[in-house]
Each structure stands twice: as C-alpha cells, then as structure tokens.
Structure 1
Amino acid sequence: MTEAGATLRGRTAGLRSGARRPRLRLLLAISAVVVVAVAAVAAAATGHPPASPELRIRGADISFTLQEEAINQLLTDNGTQAPVERILSDHGANFVRLRLWVNPQPGTSDLGSALTLARRAHDAGLQLLLDLHYSDSWADGTAQHPPAAWQGFSKHELVSTVESYTRETVAAFGRQGTPVDIVQIGNEITRGMLWPYGQIYRPDGEDWAGISELVNAGARGARNATPDHQPLIMIHSDTGGDRDASINFFDQLQRQGVGFDMIGLTYYPFWNGSLADLDRTLRALAYRYNKDIIVAETAYPWTLSSSGGVRSVVRSAEALPDAAEYPPTPQGQANFYAALNRLLREVPDGRGAGYFIWEPGWLPGVGADAHTGNAHSNLTLFDWQGHGLPALDAFRPTGTSGSARAAGG
C-alpha cells in the first residue's frame, strides 16, 4: 500500500539458528497438518466450520519507524514508552515486514534503514518478511517504475540485475545475523513489475512472459543468497477481495512456470470489499494452489477524523462494507481484527497462515514522500498522541485479548 498510490487510485519467532529456514518450512507444514486434525475433531463435535487453533504468522509493516522516531514521535503501551517492535512483540507479534527501495532518498526505505530495523526486530524476537519493490519509490498497481540506475537496460541486463540485486540484498541481512525468512518478489504486481518490460496489460494485449522471467530471477537470487537459510518466496497481489482476479493472476504465473512458496494478498476493506469477499478469495486459492496464504497488507480505521492537515483516506462509514458490525472506533477496529484472525484460521487445510497490519505506528508528521502527506493516520494501532489502542491485541495468536484494555491506554 502506498500513500501516493492510494491518491492515484482513490483508493501481510524464535527460530534463530543458521538452519531455521528448513525448520520454518517444516514448522509450517507440521502446523498445517496438526491444526487441520484438531479442527476436524472440533468441527465434528460442534458442527461449526473447522478452525486452526492459532495463526502462525502475526506481524506488521513498520517501515516508517525510523522516520517517525527522527521527529520524536514516541509510542506508549499502557503508559509505558517503548519502541514499536517491542510493543508488537509484547502483544504476540512474531514477524515484521520491511519495505525496501533501490536508490531512494536517504533514510526513506533504503537498505541501511531496513538493516537497522531488521536488527531491532531480531533483538525483539521477531522474524522478517522483506518487501522488495524493485523501484526507487512506491511500486503498486498504479506504477511500477524501474530504478533510475536500471533505466535503458536490455531484457538480459534487467533480468540479470534483478537476480543479482536480490541475491546481494538478501545476503546483506544474513551477514548481519538477521536472515530473511520470507522474501516478497515485487509489491502488488498484479499488473506486472518493472514496466514496461514486465508490464502485463498493454495496448496490444497481455504479456506474461516478462513478469515471469523477472519473478523467477528474483526468486533465484533470494534462494542463492544464504544457502544455509533459504527464505520462502511470496508473490503479492492486490486482489484480496476479488476471487476471480486472484485466480487469473496466479493461474497465469503457474502456466508460465513461476515457482513460489506463498501467496500474499492486499486486503483493505475500504478498497477490496467485505470480509465475506476476502473469505471467498482465501478459500478458492487454498483449494486451487495448496499453498499458505498471507494477508500481506491490511488496515482498519479507529476514527473517521483527519489529522496533520491531511484528509484521511477513510472519512465515511459508508466506505466500510462491514461498518455495522465493526464501526470505525477503537473497539470496532479491535473487533474487526479479531474477525479477520478467525476468518484466516478457518481457511481450509490450515492454509491461512496469517496477516500483516500495515504501518500501525505511522502517526501524523511523516509524509509518504516529499510531495505527499500521511492520509492513513486514522488506520494506526496508536492514537495521535502515540498511546496504544485495543487492537494491539490483534497480534495474539487467536486475535483476542486475555484481559480488557482501555482505549488510548
């Protein structure tokens, strides 16, 4: 999700040894088998749909953190000040997602910033999903601009560069002792990546060959970066509420021989539809591809107000398909995440791996870029004074709090 992209459109733990990548794969596989067996027994006894006991991946994208801290935006949880990764970990999170641009303005999703946040997350006991945009700024369904340094490359040069850049980048995290657990090859690439070569929909028709070569190149680079700790490869679509578009996208990639381990979906209810729409997509993909699925980006408002002189992206309850059940209030936000957690645990065969809440600490004051402000500050898990909201308990394995928490506490 991007601030700039949203303006244009209107509009997803402890395994720390060098061998933990095979262990993570084994853990995910064993967990899926176990939770299905347990859920089947429970379903037979109650007549309710089977549900996994808990989500295996519970995380947040915290890429704006250093920019927030640079302007002294501090966060508190029940009155205690702490870094965002510590607060998330204390509430049950086990992953962070970090955005990475190729040659951006210093301090804005560059490699140094991502490495710093990865080290902090690792120290807090969190694992890492790396979100590679393959651009110098926001890449999403509205724009997939190649980095300036890659402009004019031939097809061979571009494919080779994607592979080497991915390999060198993932290796950098391994060298500092914070190896990447999941690599996202491109951001919201439903319409392609690194346009025009990897663009799918063109005036003269569809072209799936370019994006397929690029994704495979990125996957090769990621898998060869740290041989003792191979990350899982995730492909990210922005079609969480659209079952047919999701099936078409992943079907086409499979026909082209693209290999990947996990499916990532963007799901913002104010753009992607109701929880029922998401449920239809998740179930269809689980049956069709037999792969774990992550909601790689999601958010929900705790207020409809705006702050920082920027109009919030969600200003009306009418934009929320399930607003009657989950109103845009601190408690309504918490209840929405509890419902999302339950929905993912009910995905067939335990394939609903988990979700990432997008930028829960992005408070007013830091813009999306030099030209665009923050229209998403009402989607955070902290109020505008940095006080934690009840929805922080979304990171607990079952998405529910063990005790009552006061809003703004």
Structure 2
Amino acid sequence: MKLPRLIPLAALLAAALVSSAHAAIWIKGCDVSSLKKSEDKGGKYFYASGYQDDALKILRDGGVNTVRLKVWVNSPDGYHNKARVLAVAKRAKSFGQKILVDFHYSDTWADPGKQTKPSAWSSYNLSALNTAVYNHTYDICKALANQGTPADYVQIGNEINDGLLWNEGRLSSVNYNFTNLCQLLRSGINGAKAANSSTAIVLHIAKGGDWELIKWWFDNVKAQGIAWDYTGVSYYPYWHGSLTSLQTALNNAASRFAKPVLVVETAYPFTLAAGDSAANNIGLSSQLVSGYPATLQGQYDMIKKICTIVNSVPNNRGAGVIYWEGTWTPVTGNGWDNINASSGNNWENQALFDFTGKALWSMDAFKLF
C-alpha cells in the first residue's frame, strides 16, 4: 500500500517564513456541490491510508477550511437546493469549516455562456425578477442562519461576465449597460444581508488572468454604487491565461478596488485517464501547462503555485483559493447532466480524490499556507 506523501520539512519551513512576513491566505476552499448526490448514489471517500470517513473531514485534515455549495432554484434532480445545502452546511460547520453559498439563479449550470432563468421565473419582467432574487437569496441565507450555520460568504451569481438571468440581466442584450444587472445584484445583496448582516458578498466572473476584463467589469459595477466585499474570479490555468497574467490581474484588482481578491474556482488534472465513459474536459497533454504534468506532483505544484500567487498579493489582500468540485469522483448517476442519470462525469481526473474515492496527497498543498 502506498503511504500518503508527506510535505517536505523545507517546504513547511518556507511556508512558516512567508506567513511570518505576510498574513497567509485565509480561505482555503473546495467546492463540494456534487458531494451529497455522489454519496446518495454510492460514492465513498477514504483517507490515503484506506480508512473510510466523511469527505469533508478528510478535506479538513488536508487543509481545506471552507466549502462552497451551489444553489439552483428548482433543480430537476432534487439536488443543489435548500434542503441539500442545509444538510451539507451542518456537516461542514461541525468540522469547523466556513461556508460559501454560490447562487446560480437558474435551474441548471450558470456560466459565461449561459445564464438561463429558472423555469418558474421564465415569464418575469425585471421588476418581478428583482423580487424573486431577493426572496430566493433571503430564504436560503435565513434558513442557514436559523439552523445555526450562517453563510460566511455569498456569491450573487456565478461567472456573470455577461450578466445573469438572461435576457433581462444580460449585458450584451442591452449594449453593455450595467443598469439592469446591477439592480439584480443589489436585490441579491440586500437579501443576503437582511438574512445575516455579517455575511460577506462575493462578486464572481471568469477569466481571472484578464486584467482589462476585470477592470472594465468591476469599474462598471462600482459606478452603479454596488458594494461588495471580495473580488472573485475563476482561474483555470489551461483556459484563463498564464500564471504571470493571474498575478498581474490579482495585484491590480486588489489595488484598484481596495478589496481582497479570491480565486473562486480553479482545478488541475492528476491524470489524463478517464474514470468513466465520458471524455474528460482536460484529457490531452496538449491542454496542459508547461512544467505541470497531469500527475499528483503536477496537481500539487499547480495548487501550491496558485496559492502562492494569491498569498503574494500586496497589502494582505490575497484572500484565498477554492478548488472546484474536488469530491466529484466517477459515480454512476452523478454526471454532468442533472436530468440524465446515464450521463458521465467529465471532471473526475481533476478531483482531489482518485477514481475509487481515496484522498490524493496533492491537497496537502493547502497546508503550506
């Protein structure tokens, strides 16, 4: 049996020296939105030693102090909803982890290429959408607070480069006028704050290595009087620019907006092999970043590098890094398509557990910070 890799003493000493001179990142997270469905479909999770336990506890012991949970409005498969979020939030809080709630304001995946209105809101005009966004956000956040597991952080939308709740809140449909979008953002922010005034607000767009995009988007939001607490970006190193461009973008954003910056999503493969019949999103060597092979060491090194970049943002404004869907192992019935039980998982080679559910030592990179 292969023993788990230990973090080299030299690396731990280096991390201690960094932390003594610079406040370490305080959000070391993992999106576990797929976890409950995985477990219900038979997924199991183990320490590297082979001992079975709660995946959240294993992640905690691997350095993860925050979990991210997405919320859909009326999910067809009965997951990613209030009841499931409440259940996982209770578990996470019992392990001392904080909670980031990711509101998609959709019944399915929301990202830069699609922000489909929930079916129940499909006929709503902008005024009705504002009311729905407020009520939905308040309802989830208030339920979490009433349970004794208040949301520490809330995202008002997911990767909303081109707005949300299309077409009313879509930027490109109104000649990139931010007025409608910012009305919807304000409704969500107000709902979250009414439920729990201490909840921190994250605004999140993709393409974290594109400073000009970040500057344009957040300048326009700021001009509309929107107040937020964390400037959030997705950064997938095979899609969103070089590591150097990420450093430049985060440093500039932290300076220009005087707020902590957060890499809300990132990931990297530990293998190019597939754990099921679905082709992997990142399954070719040509897609990889030079110097970072699709191995456990390569995954470890990439997590460490991105954390190092965030940790080096000036004025202690590097908040942290959240790894995307680290528990999404290949489990039948828990694929990409939430209404097709036979759909596969395109992401399992980028999880923080292997195809059998055993923890990977690459997550130990979080312990360095």
TM-score normalised to structure 2 length: 0.90
Alignment partner of 1:59 is 2:29: yes
Aligned twin of 2:98: 127
Aligned twin of 2:59: 88
8 Å CA contact 2:205–2:233 kept in 1: the answer is yes
Give the C-alpha shift of residue 100 in structure 1.
0.4
What is the rounded CA distance, in whole Å, between the counterparts of 2:362 and 2:288 in structure 1?
17
Give the C-alpha shift of residue 53 in structure 1.
4.5
SS of aligned partner of 2:57: helix
What is the rounded CA distance, in whole Å, between the counterparts of 1:226 and 1:106 in structure 2?
29
Aligned twin of 2:8: none
What is the rounded CA distance, in whole Å, between the counterparts of 1:361 and 1:220 in structure 2?
32
Alignment partner of 1:254 is 2:254: no
What is the rounded CA distance, in whole Å, between the counterparts of 2:57 and 2:248 in structure 1?
34
Matches within 5 A, 1:272-283: 272-283=240-251
Distance 1:205 1:123, change over 3 A: same
Aligned twin of 1:176: 147
SS of aligned partner of 1:355: strand
AA matched with 1:195 = W
SS of aligned partner of 1:66: helix
Matches within 5 A, 1:103-118: 103-118=74-89
1:281-304 residue CA offsets vs partner (Å, 9 max, x unmatched): 111101111101110000000011
AA matched with 1:90 = D
8 Å CA contact 2:23–2:316 kept in 1: the answer is no
- Gaps (5+ residues) in structure 2? 1-16
Alignment partner of 1:356 is 2:322: yes
What is the rounded CA distance, in whole Å, between the counterparts of 1:146 and 1:114 in structure 2?
20
Give the C-alpha shift of residue 157 in structure 1.
1.4
What is the rounded CA distance, in whole Å, between the counterparts of 1:394 and 1:279 in structure 2?
19
8 Å CA contact 1:133–1:187 kept in 2: the answer is yes
SS of aligned partner of 2:158: coil
Distance 1:362 1:205, change over 3 A: same
1:352-380 residue CA offsets vs partner (Å, 9 max, x unmatched): 10011011110112202234421111101
8 Å CA contact 1:58–1:397 kept in 2: the answer is no
8 Å CA contact 2:43–2:329 kept in 1: the answer is yes
- Gaps (5+ residues) in structure 1? 1-37, 43-51, 399-409
Runs of 4+ in 1 over 6 A off after TM superposition: 38-41
What is the rounded CA distance, in whole Å, between the counterparts of 2:206 and 2:144 in structure 1?
27
Aligned twin of 2:278: 310
The total of aligned residue pairs comes to: 347
1:48-98 residue CA offsets vs partner (Å, 9 max, x unmatched): xxxx34221101000111111112211111221111100011122211000
Of residues 371, 376, 382 in structure 1, which corresponds to 2:353?
382
Distance 1:168 1:191, change over 3 A: same
Aligned twin of 1:157: 128
Q: Name the Cα RMSD after superposition.
A: 1.6
Distance 1:308 1:157, change over 3 A: same
Give the C-alpha shift of residue 207 in structure 1.
2.1
8 Å CA contact 1:200–1:208 kept in 2: the answer is yes
8 Å CA contact 1:54–1:397 kept in 2: the answer is no
